[in-house]
Amino acid sequence: MAEALKHKTHGDALLEIRDLKIEATVYPPDEDPHDITIVDGISLKLEKGKVLGLIGESGAGKSTIGLSAMAYGRGGVRITGGEVILNGRDIMKEKTRGVRHLRGAEVCYVAQSAAAAFNPAHKLMDQVVEATVEHGRASRKEAEKRAVALFRKLSLPEPERIGNRYPHQVSGGQLQRVMTAMALCSEPDLIVFDEPTTALDVTTQIDVLAAIKEAIRDTGVAALYITHDLAVVAQVSDEIMVLRHGKTVEWAETRQIIEAPKEDYTKALVAAHAIDHEEQKPAGSPALSVKNITAAYGGGKIDVLKDVSVDIFPGQTLAVVGESGSGKSTLARVITGLLTPREGEIEFAGRTLSPKLAQRTRDDLRELQMIYQMADTAMNPRQTVATIIGRPLEFYFNMRGKERDRRVAELLDKIEMGTGYADRYPAELSGGQKQRVCIARALAAKPTLIICDEVTSALDPLVANEILKLLLELQREEQVAYLFITHDLATVKAIADSIAVMYQGKVVRYGTKSEVLKPPFDDYTDLLLSSVPEMQLGWLENAIAGRRMESGGN
């Protein structure tokens, strides 16, 4: 790695981190509290006006490193060793007052969820100029002028007036851009972007990404860009540092990381989503037929679903794709009976399902299972894995005692977790393991169809890949059909047999995978497909230039 780093030894260093060590005290349920090391021996150097991408799975320490540039430890983590040199001084040695003066002035922060990071009680403008005025970097009037110019640069609508709105009055994508404007307003030397586009829809992400990239270029600010998505970071960074378990795996120029990664872990990241799955053609009669469903919430006038019809065949996967608000999850609610549709019906295994949940038979319930995005909240934290998986066995099959335990062990084996996990609580499992337990719980009911609602969205790419592989394997073994709801087209390409593209409550494109993904495309499908970040330099510019339709976030 030494040769690769040579180019970093000259030039103006804005930020230099040397041998950083960060620790935290953890309080596990069955053990005494003890210290763990989150970040160990990280060194990096960032020149003025350059962008360094920090990438890794959750728990790799990327946010922690980013925040150390602001001398901030989130949630009680402690920076216990090393130096953080910003503009020529070690900020770890600064007193409270000194640290306060650098935050919001020399270094600014853009959070993952702007929706949560803005104070709901104040107007956007008050929040955008707050740090600038507080640190005396400009008068209030001057700062407001700057803010409006930044709103315009970030192509926000009505730049003169958007500052008078409250956070809940603008969309997520716009809010993320306002947050970028907030960071740029005090004209800092460095901005820490902490997953700024992760929470956005794929079609909105590309706009925000382009806006951020342009703003960085035009203002000459340096940036630490933190994300778990290598394809995204490749679009904005000059250099990329790959992190794992708090240590540096590889650090090099972006081109080298993408085109010629040296370490195995980096290679795995670059190759993620490589799943072998042969598309199956629709065969026989469908397991579930959704016929002309129109539905609205609370008897309202606005139809969230408009005349939706799709078929799912036994042992196959139908992927439903679309951005948030397109009606994907509502479709799942109608199929499961949680929402009674206004019109249309659902046929399941040759019979018409009652539109109301309460009127469905226990067998109807059993054959339709669901897996959720947030495995955390989908399990009772006070029940053990065995209880969670055993519950459907008791409920649907009246299995008790040894018989049930044996079946639980079988299911644990199927999801590639040993029986050792039977007595664990959800809090003791990793994100991927939790999702596996949820899959086992759904399988326990021996369903015909499992609805998977964004099941991999909250997981790291490599873990998500494992889960997808598991789901495909289980499909082959159990001949279970999936209705796979997702906004991630890469996932769809990997596992679907048929695809339904949803937009504003309607199915705009529907067919087998090869049909749907074959040009010519309708405008929306084109937008959706062209918005998926590709691991390729210059993709962002090409994608923006080739668009036929504006995304919904604009």
Residues in the site for another protein, rule: CB under 8 A? Answer: 67, 70, 72, 74, 99-105, 108-109, 111, 113, 116-122, 130-131, 134-135, 165-166, 168-169
Q: Which residues, including other chains, have CB under 8 Å from residue 100's CB and lie 6 or more apart?
A: none
Cα distance between the two ends of the chain: 43
Looking from the CA of 309 toward its CB, the CA atoms found within 13 Å total: 6
Q: Closest distance between another protein and the C-beta of residue 172, in Å?
A: 13
Tell the smallest beta-carbon distance from residue 120 to another protein (Å). Answer: 6
d(Cα 494, Cα 513) in Å, to the nearest integer?
10
Distance between CA atoms of residues 386 and 142, nearest Å: 62
Say which DSSP state 353 is in: P
In terms of CB distance, is 105 or 288 closer to another protein?
105
Q: Which amino acid is at 136?
A: G
Nearest residue (CB) to another protein, 48 versus 103: 103
- Helix axis angle, 202-219 relative to 140-153, nearest 10°? 130
3-state helix/strand/coil string of 109-138: EECCCHHHHCCCCCCHHHHHHHHHHHCCCC
Nearest residue (CB) to another protein, 111 versus 455: 111
Nearer to another protein, 197 or 435 (CB): 197
Q: In the Cβ-directed half-sphere of 140, how many Cα atoms lie within 13 Å?
A: 4
The least CB distance from residue 174 to another protein, in Å, is 12
DSSP 177-240: HHHHHHHHHT--SEEEEESTTTTS-HHHHHHHHHHHHHHHHHHT-EEEEEES-HHHHHHH-SEE
- Confirm if 336 and 451 have CB atoms less than 8 A apart: yes
Shortest distance, CB of residue 16 to another protein, whole angstroms?
Answer: 21
Contact 439, 392 (CB under 8 A): no
Cβ contact 488:457 at 8 Å? yes
Closer residue to another protein, CB minimum distance, 122 or 400: 122
Phi and psi angles of residue 104, each rounded to the nearest 5 degrees, phi first: 80, -5
The nearer residue to another protein, 121 or 545, going by C-beta atoms, is 121
CA distance 252 to 51: 12
We find the least distance from the C-beta atom of residue 122 to another protein, in angstroms, to be 7
Q: Which is nearer to another protein, 222 or 335 (CB)?
A: 222
Strands 107-110 and 190-194: parallel
Looking at the Cβ atoms of 121 and 358, the one nearer to another protein is: 121
Least distance in angstroms from the C-beta of 165 to another protein:
8
Considering the complex, state which of residue 101 and residue 506 has its C-beta at the smaller distance from another protein: 101
SS3 content of the chain, % helix, strand, coil (to 5): 40, 25, 35
> In angstroms, rounded to a whole number, what is the distance separating the alpha carbons of residues 119 and 534?
34
The distance of closest approach from Cβ of residue 219 to another protein in the complex, given in angstroms and rounded to an integer, is 18
Reading the block at residue 427, the tokens are: 């809090």
In the complex, the smallest distance separating the C-beta of residue 158 from another protein, rounded to whole angstroms, is: 14
Smallest gap from residue 68 Cβ to another protein (A): 12
Q: Quote the CA–CA distance of 529 and 539 in Å, as a whole number.
A: 13
Residue (170 or 499) nearer to another protein, CB: 170
- Distances, alpha carbon 281 to alpha carbons 291, 475, 498, in Å: 20, 15, 8
**Closest CB to another protein among 194 and 250?**
194
As measured in angstroms, the least distance from the Cβ of 51 to another protein is 19
- Least distance to another protein from the beta carbon of 103, Å? 4
∠ Cα 480 481 482 (to 5°): 120
Q: Is 351 helix (H, G, I), strand (E, B) or coil?
A: strand
Which tokens go with 325? 């608000």
